Amino acid sequence: MKTMLAIISNALCRITGKNAGARVVVSRSLSDFTPQATFDIKRCDLHGLEAGPPVRAELTREQGLQYYRTMQTVRRMELKADQLYKQKIIRGFCHLYDGQEACAAGIEAAINPSDHLITAYRAHGFTFTRGVPIKEILAELTGRKGGVAKGKGGSMHMYAPHFYGGNGIVGAQVPLGAGIALACQYQGNNQICVTLYGDGAANQGQIFETFNMAALWKLPCIFVCENNKYGMGTSVERAAASTDYYKRGDFIPGLRVDGMDVLCVREAARFAADHCRAGKGPIVMELQTYRYHGHSMSDPGVSYRTREEIQEVRSKSDPISMLKERLLGNNMASAEELKEIDIQIRKEVEDAAQYATSDPEPPLDELCNHVFASSPPLEVRGTNPWARLKSVS
Amino acid sequence: MATSLRCFLRSGKRAGLVAAQRGFSRSSAAAVQVNVRDALNQAMDEELERDERVFLLGEEVAQYDGAYKVSRGLWKKYGDKRIIDTPISEMGFAGIAVGAAMAGLRPICEFMTFNFSMQAIDQVINSAAKTYYMSAGLQPVPIVFRGPNGASAGVAAQHSQCFAAWYAHCPGLKVVSPWNSEDARGLLKAAIRDDNPVVFLENELMYGVPFEMSEESLSKNFTIPIGKAKVERQGAHVTLVSHSRFVGLCLDAAAVLAKEGVDCEVINLRTIRPLDVECIEGSVMKTNHLVTVEGGWPQFGVGAEICARIMEGPAFNYLDSPVTRVTGVDIPMPYAKILEDHSLPQVKDIIFSVKKTLNV
């Protein structure tokens, strides 16, 4: 009976190209699938804390499917970006996030849309989790007018409400994040800021300056170090005198978290968010994660690490596989259902790529706009003194 | 055929590589094709060998062979002591480099791009540039800060800025901006041997471009004097002054204009500070017209300085029209290709500006 319904739902999906088939399966789920389960998750290492996040995480079927969707979408979107880059349709810098999906998905699951988030240049995943549609992300990568920054920003400069990019200068986003937290505190709106940086950026002086001020002023800031073990081509051992990134806030409490497990990330982020909202000041969260791609599309990523290492992480710790196994193993979803979701996502990404490659480039009269905000139109000098270009806010 | 091939090479297009692969015949017995990256690499290799006090530090310079492969092979040859990988800590390692220079070493401090030097600019200006003056001659700082400068391709606003004007503004610093392989080699050797802080502005798009190099320019003691410009093309009607990649564009424009009877003199500044004003003045007194070409923004830039200096000197009276500056557009660098292409001077902009200046 179940198989027959699966066949029907598959067929329906193919005919309608919609979720219609899945609905057939879902309506059976209430009796067939486990609605909720509790999972053991890795204990976090603690620094300056008496107690940490829980070691058991509750997951509803809905949440499971949602996290799965989110991570799979980011995965497929990044792989599509890889493809487009190799076709030279995306140019310049392109830093891909595949392997690290649990970090973005887990954090977003723990915070509110009204909270704030800022990260560095490996930003496509967060751009999506913070609400920008895939097609606007891909169209920004391909430099088209339908891109989230109208094609003017590119890979590292995508923004959305309560999402401050996308930042190209390593470490510079950390003081910015603390500043956003300052604004939250100042405005008394009970919002927090999640400020992300990498293991490479962890050695930037401006981060320590920021730690000092954030602690001094008790800013509601979660400093998240996404430790993917390599800062471009340099392993953490070769860059840092101490690789205990969760301890480097010194007087700021810290957590070291399994960044490949979306539930671990969610629980830790919830714990951290509660800490900040309780007025206790900042907290540091180190997410141990891994990037499958090299530093950027210009870096093959195998001169400083082995293919065996990459393969091992893929087979043993892939965040999407881990969640999938949990859902299937606890009868919270069916293999067919997840496959359907995969197919849908592939199609969404394909459609978005189609849009991103066919949308026109921004018009030339857009060139000089957005130099100043809230200003009357001004004249901008072009490449020569006779080129008087127009700029509006 | 030879002229057009030379044009290809000068314009800095990667088509030059194709010319090389076609088995480009040597025009003189000892001429050899070397790309800018290899010229820089060889210069550093030779200076490391010549003087034990010279060492290189920066991000990815050692085991990764350099982010742009400029330091390829050097770590293998010289080891950890001479080629040092740093963490991503520009302010910190620039300061460390300056300190090492003060205590008797001769560091080459690489910024992965000069955009990141902004994080360390205090060390470059306040610790390196001003110290010899502040100590009344007691404390020299023999250091070279090098790395790619200006726009690349599609790297957007935070990674495309030209810092020539920023650094050239400061007394105590020498600022050089090579165009071709001979410039790169000769100026880098000169910079490393100079007892003063030198900011060495490379260009990523030029790294892979091959140029012919004479036997003389490949010799171990070949240096180009800092502070001297080079006339790359003689001409009678108008002087084009430029630096770095845009010298190539000027030569391309000159080739097109020559067909229309306009004869351009093209000057490759090679050094931004100290500026070779005499070379420019001498040319202007001959041609009576001046067009400056740069990739940086117009306001308070290299072209602006040249205009001011010409006005202050004897060449002003020889001008038949005001100086024209061709520059980058006065906006942050956009990402989309069509916008980026229109944000920097193209050959057609130079041609247009020359004609307007000459009123033809």
Q: What percent of chain B has pLDDT over 70?
A: 92
Neighbouring C-alpha atoms within 13 Å toward the C-beta of B342? 16
CB B19 within 8 A of CB B3: no
CB B182 within 8 A of CB B232: no
Residue B121 forms part of a structural domain: yes
Which pLDDT value is given to residue A30? 56
Residue B345, pLDDT > 50, answer: yes
Number of H helices, E strands in chain B: 14, 14
User: For residues A244 and A46, what is the distance between their CA atoms, to the nearest angstrom?
Assistant: 11
Whether residue A233 is found in the same domain as residue A259: yes
CB A285 within 8 A of CB A225: yes
Residues B90, B204, B294, B305: which is the catalytic one? Answer: B90
Q: Which of residues 20-49 of B touch A (CB under 8 A)?
A: none
Residue that terminates a domain, selected from B178, B195, B218: B218
Interface contact flag, A364 B346, Cβ < 8 Å: no
Residue A250 forms part of a structural domain: yes
Taking every pair of Cα atoms in chain A, the longest distance, rounded to a whole number of angstroms, is 77
DSSP code of residue B72: T
Strand B238-242 relative to strand B198-202: parallel, antiparallel, unpaired? unpaired
Interface contact flag, A143 B64, Cβ < 8 Å: no
Residue B246 forms part of a structural domain: yes
Whether residue B195 is found in the same domain as residue B290: no
Whether residue B210 is found in the same domain as residue B247: no
Query: Which residue, A145, A222, A334, A186, is CA-closest to B338?
Result: A145
Q: Residue A230: enclosing H or E segment and its boundaries?
A: strand A230-231
> Any CB–CB contact under 8 A between B59 and chain A?
yes
CB A383 within 8 A of CB B326: yes
Residue B313 forms part of a structural domain: yes
User: For residues A322 and A328, what is the distance between their CA atoms, to the nearest angstrom?
Assistant: 10
Helix axes A319-329, A262-277, angle to 10 degrees: 100
DSSP code of residue B360: -
Residue pLDDT, tens place only, B246-299: 999 999 999 999 999 999 999 999 999 999 999 999 999 999 999 999 999 999
Residue pLDDT, tens place only, B71-112: 999 999 999 999 999 999 999 999 999 999 999 999 999 999
Residue B335 forms part of a structural domain: yes
Q: Given CA atoms A192, A193, A196, A202 in this order, what sign does their dihedral have? A: negative
Distance of CA A155 to the CA centre of its chain: 13
Residue A303 forms part of a structural domain: yes
ipTM of the complex: 0.87
Contact partners, residue B139, CB within 8 Å, separation at least 6: B102, B131, B132
Residue B197, pLDDT > 70, answer: yes
Residue A234 forms part of a structural domain: yes
Whether residue A249 is found in the same domain as residue A262: yes
pLDDT tens digits in sequence order for chain A, 393 residues long: 455 555 555 555 554 444 444 444 444 455 689 999 999 999 999 999 999 999 999 999 999 999 999 999 999 999 999 999 999 999 999 999 999 999 999 999 999 999 999 999 999 999 999 999 999 999 999 999 999 999 999 999 999 999 999 999 999 999 999 999 999 999 999 999 999 999 999 999 999 999 999 999 999 999 999 999 999 999 999 999 999 999 999 999 999 999 999 999 999 999 999 999 999 999 999 999 999 999 999 999 999 999 999 999 999 999 999 999 999 999 999 999 999 999 999 999 999 999 999 999 999 999 999 999 999 999 999 999 999 999 999
Give exposure, A319-353, as e/b (b: 16+ Cβ within 10 Å): bbebbbebbeebebbbebbbebbbbbbeebbeebb
Which pLDDT value is given to residue A57? 98
Pinpoint the alpha helices (H) of chain B.
2-10, 15-21, 36-50, 74-78, 90-102, 121-122, 131-134, 164-168, 181-193, 245-259, 277-287, 302-312, 337-341, 347-358
Residue pLDDT, tens place only, B113-172: 999 999 999 999 999 999 999 999 999 999 999 999 999 999 999 999 999 999 999 999
Whether residue B260 is found in the same domain as residue B191: no
> Any CB–CB contact under 8 A between B331 and chain A?
yes
Whether residue B188 is found in the same domain as residue B47: yes
Which pLDDT value is given to residue A247? 98
User: For residues A36 and A178, what is the distance between their CA atoms, to the nearest angstrom?
Assistant: 37
Residue B92 forms part of a structural domain: yes
Whether residue B170 is found in the same domain as residue B287: no
For A93, which residue in chain B has the nearest alpha carbon? B155
Across the interface, of B118, B328, B338, the residue whose CB is closest to A361 is B338
CATH number of residue B300's parent domain: 3.40.50.920
DSSP code of residue B120: G
Residue A237 forms part of a structural domain: yes
Residue that terminates a domain, selected from B163, B194, B218: B218
Q: Alpha-carbon Rg of chain A, whole angstroms? A: 22
Whether residue B183 is found in the same domain as residue B157: yes
Whether residue B110 is found in the same domain as residue B165: yes
| Interface mutation target, options B88, B352, B357, chain A, most CBs of A under 10 Å | B88
Whether residue A343 is found in the same domain as residue A388: no
Retrieve residue B167's tokens: 């650094």
> Any CB–CB contact under 8 A between A243 and chain B?
no
Residue B28 forms part of a structural domain: no
Whether residue A382 is found in the same domain as residue A305: no
Whether residue A335 is found in the same domain as residue A369: no
Interface contact flag, A157 B344, Cβ < 8 Å: no
pTM here? Answer: 0.90
Whether residue B198 is found in the same domain as residue B50: yes
Retrieve residue B358's tokens: 């000459």
Residue B37, pLDDT > 90, answer: yes
Whether residue A350 is found in the same domain as residue A375: no
Whether residue A99 is found in the same domain as residue A195: yes
Across the interface, of B153, B324, B337, the residue whose CB is closest to A385 is B324
Q: Residue B231: enclosing H or E segment and its boundaries?
A: strand B230-233
Neighbouring C-alpha atoms within 13 Å toward the C-beta of B261? 2
Residue B27 forms part of a structural domain: no
Whether residue B188 is found in the same domain as residue B249: no
Interface contact flag, B329 A144, Cβ < 8 Å: no
> Any CB–CB contact under 8 A between B321 and chain A?
no
The boundaries of the domain holding residue B307 are: 230-358
Strand B32-35 relative to strand A254-258: parallel, antiparallel, unpaired? unpaired
CATH number of residue B158's parent domain: 3.40.50.970
Q: Given CA atoms A384, B228, B185, B96 in this order, what sign does their dihedral have? A: negative
> Any CB–CB contact under 8 A between A157 and chain B?
yes
Q: Alpha-carbon Rg of chain B, whole angstroms? A: 20
Active site residue B232: no
> Any CB–CB contact under 8 A between A213 and chain B?
no
Residue B69 forms part of a structural domain: yes
Alpha-carbon distance B220 to nearest alpha carbon in chain A (angstroms): 32
Whether residue A262 is found in the same domain as residue A376: no
DSSP bridge partners of A226? A198, A287
Q: Given CA atoms A65, A67, A68, A69 in this order, what sign does their dihedral have? A: positive
User: For residues B34 and B25, what is the distance between their CA atoms, to the nearest angstrom?
Assistant: 14
Residue B25, pLDDT > 80, answer: no
Across the interface, of A92, A157, A380, the residue whose CB is closest to B153 is A92
Whether residue A381 is found in the same domain as residue A281: no
Across the interface, of B63, B325, B336, the residue whose CB is closest to A233 is B63
Phi and psi at B232, nearest 5°, equal -85, -25
Q: Which residues of B touch A92 (CB under 8 A)?
A: 152-156, 335
A69 φ/ψ sector (left φ>0, alpha ψ -120 to 50, else beta): alpha
Whether residue B192 is found in the same domain as residue B89: yes
Whether residue B196 is found in the same domain as residue B124: yes
Residue A274 forms part of a structural domain: yes
The count of domains in chain B is 2
User: For residues A156 and B239, what is the distance between their CA atoms, to the nearest angstrom?
Assistant: 40
Across the interface, of B59, B324, B331, the residue whose CB is closest to A380 is B331
CB B301 within 8 A of CB B165: yes
**DSSP letters spanning A350-388:** HHHHHHHHHSPPPPGGGTT-SSSSS---EEEE-SSTT-E
Taking every pair of Cα atoms in chain B, the longest distance, rounded to a whole number of angstroms, is 60
User: For residues B348 and A278, what is the distance between their CA atoms, to the nearest angstrom?
Assistant: 62
Mean pLDDT of B174-203: 98
Whether residue A161 is found in the same domain as residue A203: yes
User: For residues A338 and A171, what is the distance between their CA atoms, to the nearest angstrom?
Assistant: 38
DSSP bridge partners of A282? none
Residue pLDDT, tens place only, B284-341: 999 999 999 999 999 999 999 999 999 999 999 999 999 999 999 999 999 999 999 9
Residue A11 forms part of a structural domain: no
Whether residue A369 is found in the same domain as residue A309: no
Helix, coil or strand: residue B115: helix
Which pLDDT value is given to residue B83? 98
The boundaries of the domain holding residue A197 are: 43-362
User: For residues B108 and B200, what is the distance between their CA atoms, to the nearest angstrom?
Assistant: 10
Interface contact flag, B331 A154, Cβ < 8 Å: no
